[in-house]
Structure 1
Amino acid sequence: MTHRIVCAGDQFISAELLARSVEAALDGDVTPVLVGSAWPTEPFGEIDGVREAAGDPSELAAAVEGAAAVITHLAPITAQVLAAGKGSLQVVGVTRGGPVNVDLAAATAAGIPVAYLPGRNLNAVAEFCVGTMICAMRGLPAAAARLASGTWDATGFKYERTGLELAAATVGLVGLGAVGARVAQLLGAFGSRVLAHDPYLADAPPGVTLVDLPELLAGSDVVSLHARLTPETRHLIDKAALATMRPGAVLINTARGELVDRAALDAALESGSLRAAVLDVFDPEPPDPTDPLPRRPEVLATPHLAGASRQVAEQSAARIAAEVAAVLTGGRPTHCANPDALDPQ
């Protein structure tokens, strides 16, 4: 049986890559329909009730008619798109850790499971964290900014301006899920002392000490955020939390911008109580052009790139293709965002 599968790609995970992956997973029994978007050249946004989506839902709905599956990264899988697949669409596969670009209520009502990939970019994010820890602790963003402005600043060799090596550092991880656990594993190879705070864990992996948040903040040279955003964790790192941190500590946020009170962080950096910050996420995102944080020389600011690697694109395409193939051949997805679509009772 040949399966008609819509492969809705973008400039990170292309439609062609998705098509090759699903053809391999189904031994070539595929008629791929390629649909593309211009993300990230053009931003994603909210479209017809779904978030962080890129593409034209009307174009996608036309392509989905008669299709057995849709595989995508960011395409808007709206109620309109799902209705266009009525009678044929058996599964939606999303190459993301959270399928916010899918109308899950509409998919569940239609009995269409949504497969997704939690932890899909954990290694890329973990490597980014460790690499930027080294940069921030050693003062490299500020030193690079001074050199780019034409100043050769040899005073970076003054003892009081030098930073710690990871082997001598205590690193505190706020959240010890898939990414946090991988960061801890990498830090173990450097010889770091690793603290973690995660209220959902009873036991820590080897080499990690679980502590409460105040103890972690007070005892860490680097604090790296890996918590989910919830009403309880919004502005988890506020003025009071920043005041608890060690003088000269470094803050790294690759999780969600809303975890940090940006005004309080700006004040902590201005006062010199923090040495540096690494910010890959912002609140709002993108940040306002007048936001002073990204322009600070002691801040290494990147536009939500921690999870961007070739391996993430290639492995995500292969993994979601396998999930979709499992459903189309009578199996179940490993991770289903709407399990009620599989077991309506």
Structure 2
Amino acid sequence: MSGRRTLIVTGADLAPQALELLKDLDVVYAGKTPQEDDLVALCRQHDPVAIIVRYGKVGAAVMDAAPSLRVISKHGSGTDTIDKDAAKARGIEVRAAVGANAAAVAEQALALLLACAKSVTHLNARMHAGHWDKATHKSVELHGRTIGLVGLGAIGQRFARMCDAMGMKVIGFDPFAASLPAFIRPVDLATIWRESDAISLHCPLTAENREMLNAPALAVCKRGVIVVNTARGGLVDEAALLKAVRSGQVACAGLDSFAVEPMTAPHRFHGEPNIILSPHIGGVTGDAYVNMGVGAARNVLAVLAQSAVAAHA
């Protein structure tokens, strides 16, 4: 042991720019798919002062195995994989790299929206099979349509600008958002479901909003609505969504996140032509990888600096 303080990364790597910021700490990697037992064992071995969360969950058992732990920093913006109540009870700060992957995720949401509206994957498959559907296929024109956004943080607002630039009417629900740009009309959740031609989710997952997009919500949507989710899979009742897609109530769904990840196989969505899937890679770009790593590292250092000041006060 070096005698230096340790930071555990629940992943196999971290951007070089982040590691440079963390050069005064010993960085220990938990691997690509760390389980709770793995993290508990590493914490008992190294007693880290900080954890950067990339994959897996960090709960009370992990925290109790690390008595020196001061900060849990998310490599990204969503902190639902961290037990925040347990952390608060133990005086451990939880931080997120807010906005670090906003551009990447907003672009993924736009890609999924366009793929749904323009039948990109379906037409691609038909073309490769030798078909020419020009005389029979009509795509959806998004100009003039209403996009309803649930969540208006950094990602939601960036996506809203993209939709506004395409001539879409943008409505949004977020009880915590303030000073919204003029092109976003704030509404309640019921209005989102009722008025939207397309719905895109951009909010964190909480106990209160779990499966918010459920059978009753889908039933009051416009028939043929498009659903996009690049946030958290737990926001959607997957069985209800599948039923709505099969009935035509939802014309197409573009999904980048799922209730259980990695997605189990076989899965109810597999083979569904009107559900477009990507493996939660909205925030996985070269630029976002650096931004999230640097953001997570800076959050670690900020909390440790605060702790040092408090210890000497």
Into which bin does the TM-score normalised by the smaller protein fall? 0.7 to 0.9
Task: Calculate the TM-score normalised by the size of structure 2.
Answer: 0.80
Provide, for residues 259-313 of structure 1, a one-character-per-residue CA deviation record: whole Å limited to 9, x for no partner. Answer: 2222222222212232210111222334442433232122111122222122222
CA separation of 1:291 and 1:327: change in aligned 2, threshold 3 A: closer
Tell me if the contact between 1:203 and 1:210 (Cα under 8 Å) persists in the aligned partners: no
Which amino acid counterpart does residue 316 of structure 1 have in structure 2?
M
Which sits farther off after the overlay, 263-272 or 124-133? Answer: 263-272
Provide, for residues 14-70 of structure 1, a one-character-per-residue CA deviation record: whole Å limited to 9, x for no partner. Answer: 2855422323xxxxxx2x42322331xx3x54x26xxxxxx4432343234xx6x43
- 3-state SS, counterpart of residue 241 of structure 2: helix
CA separation of 1:207 and 1:109: change in aligned 2, threshold 3 A: closer
CA separation of 1:256 and 1:94: change in aligned 2, threshold 3 A: closer
Q: Distance in 1 between matches of 2:178 and 2:232?
A: 24
Question: Which of structures 1 and 2 has the bigger CA Rg?
Answer: 1
Distance apart, 1:231 and its partner CA: 4.3
Q: 1:337: which partner in 2?
A: none
Residue ranges of structure 1 left out of the alignment (5+ in a row) = 24-29, 49-54, 334-341
Tell me if the contact between 1:82 and 1:106 (Cα under 8 Å) persists in the aligned partners: no
Which sits farther off after the overlay, 324-333 or 221-230? Answer: 324-333
CA separation of 1:129 and 1:3: change in aligned 2, threshold 3 A: farther
- Counterparts of 1:11-22 in structure 2, within 5 Å, are 13-14=13-14, 18-22=18-22
- 3-state SS, counterpart of residue 297 of structure 2: helix
CA separation of 1:235 and 1:156: change in aligned 2, threshold 3 A: farther
Provide, for residues 49-97 of structure 1, a one-character-per-residue CA deviation record: whole Å limited to 9, x for no partner. Answer: xxxxxx4432343234xx6x435234758234422x3xxx665544343
Residue ranges of structure 2 left out of the alignment (5+ in a row) = none
CA separation of 1:203 and 1:103: change in aligned 2, threshold 3 A: closer
Q: 2:129 matched to 1:151? A: yes
CA separation of 1:282 and 1:190: change in aligned 2, threshold 3 A: same
- 3-state SS, counterpart of residue 155 of structure 1: coil
Tell me if the contact between 2:12 and 2:30 (Cα under 8 Å) persists in the aligned partners: no
- 3-state SS, counterpart of residue 181 of structure 1: helix
Tell me if the contact between 2:223 and 2:250 (Cα under 8 Å) persists in the aligned partners: yes
CA separation of 1:206 and 1:11: change in aligned 2, threshold 3 A: same
CA separation of 1:90 and 1:281: change in aligned 2, threshold 3 A: closer
Q: Distance in 2 between matches of 1:5 and 1:94?
A: 19
Task: Calculate the TM-score normalised by the size of structure 1.
Answer: 0.74
Tell me if the contact between 1:226 and 1:255 (Cα under 8 Å) persists in the aligned partners: yes
For 2:234, which of 258, 266, 279 is the aligned residue?
258
Q: 1:38: which partner in 2?
A: 31
CA separation of 1:94 and 1:157: change in aligned 2, threshold 3 A: same
**What is the alpha-carbon root mean square deviation over aligned residues?**
3.4
Q: Distance in 1 between matches of 2:287 and 2:308?
A: 25
- Counterparts of 1:264-279 in structure 2, within 5 Å, are 264-279=240-255
Which amino acid counterpart does residue 224 of structure 1 have in structure 2?
S
Which amino acid counterpart does residue 227 of structure 2 have in structure 1?
L
Which amino acid counterpart does residue 136 of structure 2 have in structure 1?
K
- The sequence identity of aligned pairs, in percent, is 28
Q: 2:120 matched to 1:140? A: yes
Q: Distance in 1 between matches of 2:10 and 2:284?
A: 13
- 3-state SS, counterpart of residue 294 of structure 1: coil
For 1:57, which of 8, 26, 40 is the aligned residue?
40
Tell me if the contact between 1:15 and 1:34 (Cα under 8 Å) persists in the aligned partners: no
Q: Tell me how many residue pairs correspond in the alignment.
A: 306
Which amino acid counterpart does residue 155 of structure 1 have in structure 2?
D
- 3-state SS, counterpart of residue 154 of structure 1: coil
CA separation of 1:226 and 1:63: change in aligned 2, threshold 3 A: same
- Counterparts of 1:289-328 in structure 2, within 5 Å, are 289-328=265-304
- Counterparts of 1:325-340 in structure 2, within 5 Å, are 325-329=301-305
CA separation of 1:107 and 1:249: change in aligned 2, threshold 3 A: closer
Which amino acid counterpart does residue 77 of structure 2 have in structure 1?
G
Distance apart, 1:104 and its partner CA: 5.6
Which amino acid counterpart does residue 166 of structure 2 have in structure 1?
F
- 3-state SS, counterpart of residue 277 of structure 1: strand
- Counterparts of 1:127-206 in structure 2, within 5 Å, are 127-147=107-127, 150-156=128-134, 158=136, 161-164=138-141, 166-201=142-177, 204-206=180-182
- 3-state SS, counterpart of residue 251 of structure 1: strand
Q: Distance in 2 between matches of 1:162 and 1:199?
A: 34
Which sits farther off after the overlay, 301-310 or 197-206? Answer: 197-206
